[in-house]
Amino acid sequence: MNRKSELIFATLLGGALLALPLQAQSASKSSKAMSNSQPASSGTIESWREFRKPSDSDLKKKLSSIQYSVTQHEGTEVPYTGNTWDNHKAGIYVDVISGEPLFSSADKFESGTGWPSFTKPLVASNVKTVSDRSLGVKRTEVRSKYADSHLGHVFNDGPRPTGLRYCMNSAAMRFIPVDRLKAEGYGEYLKLFSAESSSK
């Protein structure tokens, strides 16, 4: 599926979802509220490697409806509604359930799709890909390693240097700004942003 087809599909999907405006608005508000709270686990660098996935009933209680739909049932948030698609702050994106590091703002770019997009993962071993034919076309689904959350899909129409577009759902991730990395146990990633600052 190319970007044009994806946008057409997103528009159709968005229209169907917007037929239930109160539910969509509620889910969007819940997603934004959840994104600023703690994830289902403590999400620190010390804990995510020992992460054990909660039961489905616990996840339903801890996640907003859109987070649960996206991460557990391969849902897709309506484009331009997620809380990080247009986020331009420096920091990292972690799995909303496990806290495992997934992507960096240094690799984020404007894809014009309405979803946060990245050229590569922050920690390649924390993401896995599987074949997805759910829409009748072959796509490559992206999932987190430890929480096994559905994150989105990866396409071959991204910019240099990788040529890839990791098209993710905001609902599957939590953003941690640079000034919170150390406090939340992700201090080892501070060097990425120090290097970025010094190169400007």
Within 10 Å of residue 26's Cβ, how many Cβ atoms? 14
Catalytic residue selected from 96, 151, 167, 168? 167
| Nearest CA among 40, 48, 37 for reference residue 189 | 48
Q: Sign of torsion, CA 137 140 146 150?
A: negative
Q: How far apart are CA 123 and CA 181, in angstroms?
A: 15
Task: Check residue 105 and report its DSSP letter.
Answer: G
| Sequence-ordered list of residues with C-beta below 8 angstroms from that of 84, at least 6 positions apart, any chain | 35, 93, 116, 170, 173, 175
Is residue 167 part of the annotated active site? The answer reads: yes
132 by Cβ neighbours in 10 Å (0-12 / 13-18 / 19+) ranks as middle
The residues annotated with a catalytic role in the active site are 167
